[in-house]
Amino acid sequence: MGAAIAPLSTAVSVVGLGPMGAACARALVSDGHAVTVWNRSPERSAPFAAEGGGHVAAGAAEAIAASPLTLVVLSDDAAVAEVLAGPDVRAALAGRVIVNLTSGVPETAAALEQEVRGAGGQYLDGRVGCYPWGIATPNSSIVYAGDRGVFESWAPLLRSLGSDLRHVGDDVRVANVLALAMYNMLHHAVLVAFYEAGAVAQRFGVSLADCVPLARQTLATTADALERGAERVARGDHAAVEAAIDTHAGAVGRTRDAIAAAGAEHAMLDAVVGYLERAQDAGLGPLELSALYDLLADRGEPEPGRAPA
């Protein structure tokens, strides 16, 4: 691991001014940083020039050279690789820190780190767990992976994007792994389930807005259940204390049948029923729902009351 490049100034650059990149740039300007921005489509840079909040670079290389740290917020990792591959950009990377906040996949993050390090720079991979409106608010959540020393050196500046920032490992792939599992899978599954459930409620005269307060309470209960389930997995004990898989399967199955009878969509519930039936077929019906994790994680079938070692 290389020595961290210390933040000697508050100069920072942002490459990419889509909704997320623009939100990051504005948060940095608002926090008093000297911000340089660049976007392939010049019209997205125009507001920053008009507002006088940041310097607009003529190209990516100029933006990277202007600051010790550059946030890269592009459409995908292919776009990041294309920008970093330019000869002028590679020359500008020496002695610079690249923080890539672009959505991607674990192995691409490792390749990008190698590219930046090969050019004499340092690399952090980050993933944003909020929408652009959540940047620099209590709703922001950003995980970072890469050299811990580099992260700790730049954490004061990165807090301009939000106070909930976490270093999740020296391996740059980890931020992507967590983003795929939590920000992408869990988040979108919850949203789709909410709209499917709301469509059911609408058939009985309940508006989607009226569902929100109960949905918030349900999410709080779900968060508690997630924590309890993770504790059971860690202990290796799935003995039924609160609700066995058989209990869940009965409740969800009856719900699915009632929704189908009402003529409403139930694809999400079909998936849940499928998982529960799979667990029952594996003999896990008498155990807590957390036993499903061992089945899906291919850890073997837990014995009643216990998970495999």
153 lies in the same domain as 221: no
Q: Which 3 state secondary structure label does DSSP give 56? A: strand
Tens digits of residue pLDDT in 104-148: 999 999 999 999 999 999 999 999 999 999 999 988 999 999 999
Of 156, 171, 186, which residue constitutes the final position of a domain? Answer: 171
Which among 127, 103, 98, 133 has a CA at the least distance from the CA of 114? 98
Task: Give the CATH number, domain containing residue 279.
Answer: 1.10.1040.10
Domain membership of residue 243 as a residue range: 203-296
Between the alpha carbon of residue 88 and those of residues 65, 117, 191, the distances in Å are 10, 16, 43
**Is residue 191 in a domain?**
no
Give the pLDDT score at 47.
Answer: 82
Could you say which residues of the chain have pLDDT below 70? Answer: 1-9, 52, 299-309
Q: What is the mean pLDDT of the chain?
A: 91
Give the pLDDT score at 42.
Answer: 85
167 lies in the same domain as 269: no
Give the pLDDT score at 306.
Answer: 42
145 lies in the same domain as 266: no
Q: How many domains does the chain have?
A: 2
Give the pLDDT score at 211.
Answer: 97
**Is residue 177 in a domain?**
no
22 lies in the same domain as 149: yes
Which run of H or E residues covers position 201?
A: helix 187-202
163 lies in the same domain as 209: no
Of 171, 194, 223, which residue constitutes the final position of a domain? Answer: 171
10 neighbors 67 (Cβ within 8 angstroms) = no
72 neighbors 93 (Cβ within 8 angstroms) = no
| Full-model pTM | 0.83
217 lies in the same domain as 277: yes
133 lies in the same domain as 15: yes
**Is residue 115 in a domain?**
yes
Of 155, 171, 187, which residue constitutes the final position of a domain? Answer: 171
